[in-house]
Amino acid sequence: MHNPVASGRSSISGVTLIEVLAGVCVIILLASMIITSLTPNLARAEGVRCSTNLRNLHVAFDRYVQENHHWPQEPVGLADDDEANEDWWTNELKDYGAPIEVWTCPSIKRLVVAKGKTGRPKMHYTPTPFDDLAMTPYKWPNMPWLLEIGNMHGNGALGVFADGSVRSMNDFAPQNKK
């Protein structure tokens, strides 16, 4: 029988510092590969969620117009007060299926949170001002009912149209080419 203590060898095996560092490097490399592969999927998912928000807002505006026979008429003077303007629009449409959450683009929300800013949700979609006639919002198929604030999804701001379709500005607006 062989006695490890008598031969000067210990039966306890250890891990060297180099092995630990190699393991940490492999884990960091795998994590960076996973995160890199998830970023485009996150952007696509946010674009889909943004389109869904716009479709939900379209349904709410459509229900409002059908029930009230006119486009919601923003009170004079609210355009100068962002908070009052947001409160008015969100309150006006919430009974028609547009809770405050659908007014928020997930890409803009992520960027705001990443910058450490918090607070009340902001409207990230701007309604088009139509007159108070019942059919005006339906007259022009290429006039968006709402537009996203900013080009958050890479192909121009998203807009929702009278037929409920969601398209980017670059898809429907003529391009100035030199």
pLDDT in tens, 92-138: 999 999 998 899 888 888 877 777 776 666 788 999 999 988 889 99
Q: What is the pTM of this model?
A: 0.73
| H or E element, residue 146 | strand 146-148
Using an 8 Å Cβ cutoff, are 98 and 52 in contact? no
Residue 137, in any domain of the structure? yes
Stated length of the chain: 178
Residue 129, in any domain of the structure? yes
Window from 30-34, 42-46, 71-75 with minimum mean pLDDT: 30-34
Number of Cβ within 10 Å of residue 69's Cβ equals 11
Structure tokens at 116: 């450490």
Domain count, the chain: 1
Supply the range of the domain harboring residue 158. Answer: 43-172
Window from 5-9, 48-52, 122-126 with minimum mean pLDDT: 5-9
Residue 10, in any domain of the structure? no
* Distances, alpha carbon 16 to alpha carbons 4, 13, 20, 27, in Å: 20, 10, 6, 17
Residue 105, in any domain of the structure? yes
With a cut of 90, say whether residue 60 has pLDDT above it. Answer: yes
Using an 8 Å Cβ cutoff, are 85 and 110 in contact? no
With a cut of 50, say whether residue 178 has pLDDT above it. Answer: no
Residue 131, in any domain of the structure? yes
* pLDDT for the residue 177: 46
Residue 103, in any domain of the structure? yes
* Residue 78 vs residue 100, higher pLDDT: 100
Report the first-to-last Cα separation within the chain, whole angstroms: 89
Residue 28, in any domain of the structure? no
- Alpha helices, DSSP H only, in the chain? 17-68, 82-94, 106-114, 136-139, 169-172
| Cα separation, 168 vs 147, whole angstroms | 9
Residue 73, in any domain of the structure? yes
